[in-house]
């Protein structure tokens, strides 16, 4: 059994505790939080769990193999660095850190000590996103044309990160997973609706190689919750609605054919309409799958899981470019590598 400690028992903490406890591979030794009221909310049949405010005590415990970090984004780096220096593997809530420079330092430190960095890009472990990747990799899907996502709700407004770092991070992880194309530049516009708070609504556009483009709409102030993505290919198109209880993916065999007119420089556009397919998906909890992948990464020394430190860095690179673009009212910005 791999012994872990969970640092931070706020919004996502209960889900992490439940999934790590339900796993056959982990034993939760500690739950650590600054807030005693949060610790009092812990509901667990495991009486051996130590509840504490003392993160130093947790890091010094040699019986703890891994640290699960579920704290505000601006605290990720300090805790993750301390954990890695203490010889612990880390499982970090998204995003990995609040700057690419910090991500790189964590990656270097983990490599130096042969430790695993696992970023909880939970959507990569959903059956829907895994199925989308399989579909995209088949020749009959064609070339990737566009990714259009709406991820809005009346959400929890953060203090330390804007809405892109909170919500668009999911789409960026999905894009990096399903596509091997490199982002070339991004442009973003955002708006602060509340004084002394980060941007609460934003629109992000990413241009990729091979004429692929992504557009992401995120908002904390929507009266309705929408989690809908359309992925266009030259042969097929996918509609992914994460809020659908069963039919999350619909595949449309639709598109256009461009036919050159004889003796003319003009092109004729013909529309294709074919079958519609709804794949059958297994009903598995994505976080449980992520926890299992974390175990395999540790046991097999698997440094290249689909949500490793480099994946976390790639997402943060795009977010940083988006912040620079927003600061210049949407001016396109290159994405660092």
Per-residue pLDDT tens over the stretch 171-212: 999 999 999 888 999 999 999 999 999 999 999 999 998 899
- Domain assignment present for residue 312? The answer is no
**Same domain for 117 and 140?**
no
Q: Which tens digit of pLDDT belongs to each residue from 89-109?
A: 999 999 999 999 999 999 999
Give me the residues paired with residue 202 across strands. 190, 218
- Domain assignment present for residue 233? The answer is yes
Confidence of residue 128 (pLDDT cuts 50, 70, 90): very high
**Same domain for 136 and 279?**
yes
Confidence of residue 63 (pLDDT cuts 50, 70, 90): very high
**Same domain for 186 and 329?**
yes
DSSP one-letter code for 326: H
The total number of structural domains that make up the chain: 2
What average pLDDT does this structure show over 273-290?
A: 93
pTM across the whole model: 0.94
- Domain assignment present for residue 235? The answer is yes
What average pLDDT does this structure show over 302-308?
A: 90
- In contact, 6 and 83? CB cutoff 8 Å: no
User: What pLDDT is recorded for position 103?
Assistant: 98
228 class by beta-carbon count within 10 Å (0-12 exposed, 13-18 middle, 19+ buried): middle
**Same domain for 176 and 281?**
yes
Q: Which tens digit of pLDDT belongs to each residue from 164-173?
A: 999 999 999 9
Query: What range defines the domain where residue 145 resides?
Result: 127-285+317-334
DSSP one-letter code for 308: B
CATH number of the domain that 236 lies in?
3.30.360.10
**Same domain for 198 and 175?**
yes
Report residue 270 CA to chain centroid gap.
37
**Same domain for 136 and 58?**
no
- Domain assignment present for residue 89? The answer is yes
Beta pairing, strands 89-93 & 117-120: parallel
- Domain assignment present for residue 83? The answer is yes
Q: Exposure pattern of 105-135 as b/e (b: 16+ CB <10 Å)?
A: bbbebbeeeebbbbbbbbbbbbbbbbbbeeb
**Same domain for 81 and 148?**
no
Residue 47 has pLDDT above 90, yes or no: no
**Same domain for 199 and 240?**
yes
**Same domain for 119 and 65?**
yes
Cα radius of gyration (the chain) = 22
**Same domain for 158 and 274?**
yes
- Domain assignment present for residue 311? The answer is no
- Domain assignment present for residue 310? The answer is no
**Same domain for 69 and 154?**
no
The whole-angstrom separation of Cα 250 and Cα 239 is 5
The whole-angstrom separation of Cα 3 and Cα 45 is 17
**Same domain for 15 and 66?**
yes
- Domain assignment present for residue 238? The answer is yes
Residue 261 has pLDDT above 70, yes or no: no
Confidence of residue 336 (pLDDT cuts 50, 70, 90): confident
CATH number of the domain that 43 lies in?
3.40.50.720
Residue-averaged pLDDT of the chain = 94
What average pLDDT does this structure show over 120-126?
A: 97
Length of the chain in terms of residues written: 337
């Amino acid at each position: 059994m791999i012994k872990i400690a969970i640092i931070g028992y706020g919004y996502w903490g209960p889900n992490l505790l439940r999934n790590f406890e339900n796993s056959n591979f982990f034993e939760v030794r500690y739950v650590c939080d600054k807030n005693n009221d949060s610790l009092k909310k812990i509901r667990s049949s495991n009486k051996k769990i130590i509840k504490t405010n003392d993160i130093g005590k947790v890091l010094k415990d040699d019986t703890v193999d891994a640290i699960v970090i579920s704290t505000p984004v601006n605290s990720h780096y300090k805790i993750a660095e301390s954990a890695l220096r203490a010889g612990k593997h880390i499982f970090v809530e998204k995003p990995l850190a609040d700057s690419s420079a910090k991500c790189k330092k964590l990656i270097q430190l983990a490599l130096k000590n042969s430790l695993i960095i696992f970023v909880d890009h939970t959507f990569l472990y959903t059956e829907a996103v895994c199925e989308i990747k399989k579909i995209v990799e088949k020749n009959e899907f064609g070339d990737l044309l566009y990714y259009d996502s709406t991820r809005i709700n009346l959400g929890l407004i953060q203090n330390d990160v804007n809405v892109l770092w909170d919500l668009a991070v999911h789409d960026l992880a999905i894009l990096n997973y399903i596509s091997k194309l490199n982002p070339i530049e991004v442009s973003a516009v955002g708006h602060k609706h509340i004084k002394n708070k980060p941007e609460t609504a934003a629109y992000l556009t990413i241009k990729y190689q091979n004429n692929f483009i992504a557009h992401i709409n995120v908002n904390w102030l929507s009266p309705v919750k929408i989690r809908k993505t359309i992925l266009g290919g030259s042969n097929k198109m996918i509609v992914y609605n994460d809020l659908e209880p069963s039919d999350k993916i619909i595949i449309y065999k639709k598109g256009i054919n461009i036919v050159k007119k004889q003796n003319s420089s003009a092109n004729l556009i013909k529309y294709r309409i074919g079958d519609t397919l709804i794949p059958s998906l297994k009903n598995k909890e994505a976080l449980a799958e992520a926890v299992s992948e974390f175990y395999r990464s540790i046991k097999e020394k698997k440094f290249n899981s689909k949500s490793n430190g480099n994946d976390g860095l790639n997402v943060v690179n795009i977010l940083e470019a988006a912040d620079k673009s927003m600061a210049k009212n949407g001016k396109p910005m290159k994405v660092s590598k």
